Structure 1
Amino acid sequence: MNSETLNRSADSIAPRALYIEVADRLRRLIQSHAMAPGEWIDEQALATQYGISRTPLREALKVLATEGMVVLKPRRGCYVAQISGGDLEEIYPIMALLEGECAAGAARRASDADLAELATLHQALEDSAAARDIDRFFDANQRFHLLIHHIAGNRRMAQMIDELRAVLKLQRHDSLYLEGRLVASLEEHRMLMAALRAHDAEAARATMQLHIESSRRALGG
């Protein structure tokens, strides 16, 4: 067995980083609202509860901060992210415009290979919706939108959208539990896929904007 094979073997059995496991646990607590929006996170208590030092805990919180699930406040600690109705009113219209432009760009630029990859992700949406697996649907939805951003080819626009989506991550996830929202979201994705396959930029833009606005209305706006 050569050194390259040994290195590959070592990589395949390397233990998962502790902070990633901690981030997964905290993410589940936040998504289930066991840790409420706006709640202060007691780092010392959590470190004691999990039997770990505060170093991996803080690394985990940094991961969640980049996802928009927690907010790190200098000299005040870490809090579960909390979004007001006013924040939603400001953010969603901007996101609808930017996402709509990305969808239009993707419709114009998508290759057959791009469309095949989108179709695979769309099938994951169909399958997870049929199983009523909200977490899997949300993950597939994230990857579907990220691929549209990539195909559109506007790096700065994609970065702005990513920042907005991170801020709204918990709200977007929770909206899928609201009555009728999962079915409506899936139908909107079907319409969007049809527009992308037809390379119809205007239909893709309008459908994406409808999709984002529908998510906002589901939250009570």
Structure 2
Amino acid sequence: MPLWEGVYQILREAIVEGDLLPGEHLAEQQLAEELGVSRTPVREALRRLALEGFVVMVPRRGSYVAGLSLKDMNDVFELRMALEGLGAYLAAQRITPQELIAVRESQAQLEVAIAANDQNEVISADTRFHSLIYAASRNRRLIHIIGNLSDQIQGFRLKSLFAPGRLRDTAREHKRLIMALERRDGLVARRLAEEHVRQAEVSLLRSQEKMTGADERSNVSGRRVDSGGGAEQQETNGGESGII
């Protein structure tokens, strides 16, 4: 493996796992010292990450971990919807009996994890469920593209998965998809996979809207409109700001 590729994998994993946060500066010299390499493989790794959308390279300023806006997220979900629909369509035609057993087992593990409120196992079982279906499509390029898109929105994806009520819906949607795969009904499998991604996005957007609304209420809290139409801080007796 080329040296730059090892650096690339380390940095990519750190970004996906949230160890490197959006907007964080990626100084070549510092990274080179931390990883025990020269700046050349670090530079090559950053270029690769920039091509994949994980890093933004700003002339004369350096490289930064890319952030994802809600518009970016929507774009990625649209792509995932199309690609995962195709993956399910192909899997319905190509999946083996052994792979179907593995898909059912991963679904059973997911349901056990949900009942036990084991978030780590929920993530593992859900990822395994989808990975098995991707693999059954027998299309390596499709698998690679979907994996890359999923990594780019890993933080969004986890927020979606654990939004209120979403786990229950996820389990139900998975079961319907399994039934379509068992019947080898590619058209239904495609529709169900697309709907699964669509509902994940809807759930995420709702949770984001609630968070935004809470932030806005927090910003408004403790301020009142005075007679001149301006806003001024009002302290309560307890020393905390409140709306009056």
Q: Is TM-score (shorter-chain normalized) higher than 0.5?
A: yes
Residue equivalent to 1:139: 124
Q: Note if contact 1:195-1:201 (Cα within 8 Å) is conserved in structure 2.
A: yes
The superposition leaves residues 63-87 of structure 1 with CA deviations (integer Å, 9 ceiling, x where unpaired) of xx69x896374762453x4211111
Corresponding residue number in structure 1 for 2:185: 200
Supply the AA of the counterpart residue of 1:119.
R
| Distance in 1 between residues matched to 2:173 and 2:16, nearest whole Å | 27
Q: Relative contact order (alpha carbons < 8 A, sep ≥ 6): 1 or 2 greater? A: 1
The 8 Å contact of residues 134 and 176 in structure 1, kept in 2 or not, is answered as no
1:39: how far off? 4.0
Count of residues in Structure 1 that have an aligned counterpart in Structure 2: 191
Q: Is the 8 A contact 1:102 1:149 kept in 2?
A: yes
Q: In structure 1, how many angstroms separate the alpha carbons of the residues matched to 2:149 and 2:11?
A: 25
1:127 matched to 2:107: no
The answer to whether the 8 A contact 1:106-1:196 is kept is yes
Distance of aligned partners of 1:37 and 1:72 in 2 relative to their CA distance in 1, 3 Å threshold: closer
Aligned residues of 1:114 and 1:151 also touching (Cα < 8 A)? yes
- AA paired with 1:97? A
State which of 78, 103, 112 in structure 2 corresponds to 1:118: 103
For residue 54 of structure 1, the aligned residue among 34, 44, 49 is 34
Of 86, 89, 96, 1:101 maps to 86
Query: Which residue type is aligned with residue 54 of structure 1?
Result: E
Note the C-alpha offset of 1:163. 1.8
Equivalent residue number for residue 173 of structure 1: 158
CA gap 1:37/1:24 in 2 versus in 1, 3 angstroms: closer
Return the match for 1:148 from 133, 154, 167: 133
Indicate the larger mover: 131-140 or 93-102: 131-140
- Percent of matched pairs sharing the same residue: 27
Of 58, 64, 75, the match for 1:90 = 75
1:117 and 1:56 mapped to 2: Cα distance? 41
Q: Which residue in 1 is equivalent to 2:174? A: 189
**Residue 22 of structure 1: how far off its partner (Å):** 11
Of stretches 208-217 and 147-156 in structure 1, the one that deviates more from structure 2 is: 147-156
Q: Which moved more, 1:134-143 or 1:104-113?
A: 134-143
**Residues 219 and 114 of structure 1, relative CA distance in 2, 3 Å threshold:** same
1:133 Cα deviation from its structure 2 partner: 2.1
Letter in 2 for 1:116: I
Aligned to 1:76: 62
In structure 2, the gaps of 5 or more residues are 1-8, 207-244
- In the aligned structure 1, how far is the partner of 2:109 from the partner of 2:79? 27
Q: Which residue of 2 aligns with 1:17?
A: none
AA of the residue aligned to 1:105: L
* TM-aligned CA distance change 1:149 to 1:21, over 3 Å: closer
Deviation at 1:38, TM superposition (A): 3.1
How many Å separate the matches in 1 of 2:14 and 2:73? 27
Q: Using the alignment, how far apart are the partners of 1:85 and 1:23 within structure 2? A: 21
> Aligned pair in 2 of structure 1 residues 136, 72: CA closer, same or farther (>3 Å)?
farther
Scaled by the length of structure 1, what TM-score is found? 0.69
Matched position secondary structure for 1:220: helix
User: Are the aligned partners of 1:69 and 1:166 in contact in 2 as well (CA < 8 Å)?
Assistant: no
Cα distance in 2 for residues equivalent to 1:24 and 1:90: 22
Conserved? CA contact 1:43–1:54, under 8 Å? no
